[in-house]
Amino acid sequence: MPYRVTFVCTGNICRSPMAEHIFRRHVEDEGLDVEVDSSGTGHWHVGDPADERTVATLRKAGYRSAHRARQFEAGWFGHYDLIIALDRSHQTDLEAMAPDEAARRKVRLLREFDPDARDPDVADPYYGRASAFEEVREQVEAAVPGLIEYVRRGAKEPSGR
């Protein structure tokens, strides 16, 4: 059975789809049996494609970008081994939704897998310039090696910090 990872942001059109596509490519390159997807804590963009700036950023860096937004549902905790929040507000929302302590322990912040991260949050680029999307890509890519190592170890202990 594959290891299952999902990335969660607010509307599932900027940060989490970017993290999904970047991480998916890296696990494929590593030959790991990992299913990767994403969703949002809110319902505003359900069914929408990823933000055009997310798509442009992913394509420019050589990643795929096909995506349809969806909202995370509390019933999904049992499906995932690891639920990656893109910022502390998502982490708080997800932990509040979790049915028990075991489910809450599945929720982690993406940037905790980057040993050089100074801020635990991946900033929301939605209201910013195109360069903000590049910054998100760089932050996601910086966390990928630690996240891959965490998944390889079977998620027994935190990576990075």
Catalytic residues, by residue number, are 9, 15, 124
d(CA 72, CA 29): 27
Q: Report whether pLDDT(156) > 60.
A: no
**Using CA atoms, how far apart are residues 97 and 87, in angstroms rounded to an integer?**
16
| 23: its two tokens | 């991480």
Could you say which DSSP state residue 34 is in? E
Provide the greatest CA pair distance for the chain: 41
What pairing do the DSSP bridges indicate for beta strands 82-85 and 34-40?
unpaired
Measuring CA to CA, which residue among 74, 80, 72, 70 is closest to residue 106? Answer: 80
Q: Which two tokens stand for residue 36?
A: 């990767």
Query: Can you give the pLDDT at residue 154?
Result: 78
Domains and CATH numbers, the chain: 3-152 (3.40.50.2300)
* Predicted TM-score (pTM) of this structure: 0.93
At residue 158, the pLDDT reads: 40
Distance, in Å, from the CA atom of 53 to the CA atom of 51, rounded to the nearest integer, reads: 5
The conformation of residue 11, written as its DSSP 8-state character, comes to S
Predicted confidence (pLDDT) per residue in 43-59, tens digit: 999 999 999 999 999 99
